[in-house]
Amino acid sequence: MEPGTFSKYSWTDFVFSVIGVCTFLVDWGSDVWVATEFYCRGDFFWFGVLVGLMVLSSVVVQMFSWFWFKYDRELPGFSAQTGAKSVLFGDRVKLSCLLHVLQLGFLFRHAGVLEKAVESFRTKLPDPEGVAVFLSQDLSMLRIVETFSESAPQLTLMLTIILQQGHLDPVTVLKAVGSASAIAFTVTAYHRSLRSFLPAKENQKITSSVIYFTIHSQF
C-alpha cells in the first residue's frame, strides 16, 4: 500500500515512535552491559551465545530493511512522495547501503519516522503524514523480526542461566525483565500499527494499548 492511503498519524503514534527509539537504544545498551559482565566473569560460553544472538539478529534485520528499501524505491511515485530530503529514502542509495552494512539502517529508520512525523505536525500537510504512517508500518514489522530473533531467545537464555545457577543474579534478572518488556512493547506497537488499516483507528485510545501491553507483559 502506498503512502497517503493510511489513516492519520496521531500524537499517540508519535509517542510510541519515541518510546520505540528509546527502548531500542536501552536494549542495545543492556546487551553490551550483560555481554561485558559475562566476559569479565569468565563465562565465555554464555558470552559467546549472547553475542552470537546479537550479531545474527542485527544481520537479519538489516537484510530485511535493505531489501524492503530497494523494493520501496521501485514503487511508482514513491521516491517523489517521500522526498529527496528524507533520512532513509530519496536518492541516497549509497548512503543507505553504507548504513545497513554498518548495522545502522534500522536505527535510521526510526529517525526517518520521527522526521516525517515532525514534518507533518509542523506543516499540516497530508503527504508527510501518510509517509510517516507508511514508514511506521515497515518499522513495526522490522521490530517484530528483531524482537523474536533477539529478545525472545535472550529471554530464554537468561531463564536458562538462572535455572542452572540456582539463584537470582541481578544481571540476568534485569536482562530477562528487559527482554520481556521489549517483547510486550513491540507486540503492542505492532498491534497499533495493524489497526492503521482500519477506518475506526482514531477510536483506539492510549488506554487500550496500556492494557494490551500489561496483559502481554504477564506472559
- Record the cell numbers describing residue 80, joined without a space: 517523489
Q: How far is CA 27 from the centre of its chain?
A: 11
Q: Residue 110 has what pLDDT?
A: 83
Kindly report the pTM of this predicted structure.
0.76
Q: How far is CA 141 from the centre of its chain?
A: 8
pLDDT digits (tens, 9 = 90+) for 140-171: 889 999 999 999 999 999 999 999 988 888 99
How would you class 188 by CB atoms within 10 Å of its CB: exposed for 0-12, middle for 13-18, buried for 19 or more? buried
> Which phi and psi (to 5°) does residue 197 adopt?
-80, -10
Q: Residue 167 has what pLDDT?
A: 84
